[in-house]
Amino acid sequence: MAAMRLQPIIVPGWKNSGPEHWQSRWAAMLPHARRVEQSDWEHPAPSEWIAALTAEVSQARSPVLLIAHSLGCVISASLPVPLRAKVAGALLVAPADVERDGAPACLAAFAPISRQSLPFQSVVVASDNDPYCQLERARGLARDWGSRLVVVPGAGHINADSGLGEWPQGLKLLGALRRRAVWRVSPPPERIAPIPARPLSQHA
């Protein structure tokens, strides 16, 4: 059976992802990828940002594969429960700790971070020197979300400043997630022909 197509939806974080960010490079590489657009990237509002993601997931005609970065991970975890059935998997890269001391007020507005277990395949990718989320915090989020955790040493916030280019390691993680996620998606049940009745034995 041919592999079921998933709909990649790229979910940028605060201030969007610039042209050198791996998310922007992937948007140009991945067939059929869509990107969540926010009306105000500088002054994020929780209700508006979650509504924009909700609209993209709602409109998807195929099961969704979320590709989120930073604040995009926080809103992905806040996706309304009825829509989670449309999500096959999520790659959650460098989640922003909006609950940390000193977080900008516009990010603190997204607290508390949803800690509900995610009912789909997910991977949290974190760095051991991310200035916006300590590794132990990322580890706790991965545990609560039921996500696999992958640590990338010395990668900072895993953004354009990290010098990752197209981030080949991330593409490998995405490919593995896609393969696992397909198994969660239930294809339409095949119609099973009824078993023909066994003819009665003919006795002489």
User: CATH number of the domain that 80 lies in?
Assistant: 3.40.50.1820
Q: Is residue 202 part of a domain?
A: no
Q: 61: buried, middle or exposed (CB in 10 Å: 19+, 13-18, 0-12)? A: exposed
Work out the number of other CB atoms within 10 angstroms of the CB of residue 181. 23
| Local confidence band at 189 (pLDDT 50, 70, 90 cut-offs) | very low
Q: Is residue 195 part of a domain?
A: no
Q: Is residue 203 part of a domain?
A: no
Quick one: pLDDT at residue 41?
98
Average pLDDT over residues 136-158: 98
Q: Is residue 189 part of a domain?
A: no
Positive or negative: CA dihedral 134, 154, 18, 31: negative
Average pLDDT over residues 20-33: 95
- Per the DSSP assignment, residues forming a β-bridge with 41 are none
Q: Residue 184 pLDDT > 90, yes or no?
A: no
For residues 124 and 148, is the Cβ–Cβ distance under 8 A? yes
Say how many domains are in the chain.
Answer: 1
| Local confidence band at 182 (pLDDT 50, 70, 90 cut-offs) | confident
12: Cβ contacts below 8 Å, ≥ 6 apart: 21, 23, 35, 36, 38, 41, 69, 70, 72
Q: Is residue 36 part of a domain?
A: yes
Q: Is residue 201 part of a domain?
A: no
Nearest Cα residue to 160 out of 22, 15, 12, 26 = 22
Q: Is residue 32 part of a domain?
A: yes
Host domain of residue 133: 7-182
Q: Residue 202 pLDDT > 60, yes or no?
A: no
Average pLDDT over residues 126-134: 97
Backbone φ and ψ for 12, nearest 5 degrees, come out as -70, 165
Q: What is the pLDDT of residues 41-92, one digit of tens each?
A: 999 999 999 999 999 999 999 999 999 999 999 999 999 999 999 999 999 9
Beta strands in the chain (DSSP E): 7-11, 34-35, 64-69, 87-93, 121-127, 148-152
Prediction pTM value: 0.88
Q: Residue 3 pLDDT > 50, yes or no?
A: no
Report the C-alpha gap between 81 and 202 in whole angstroms.
Answer: 60
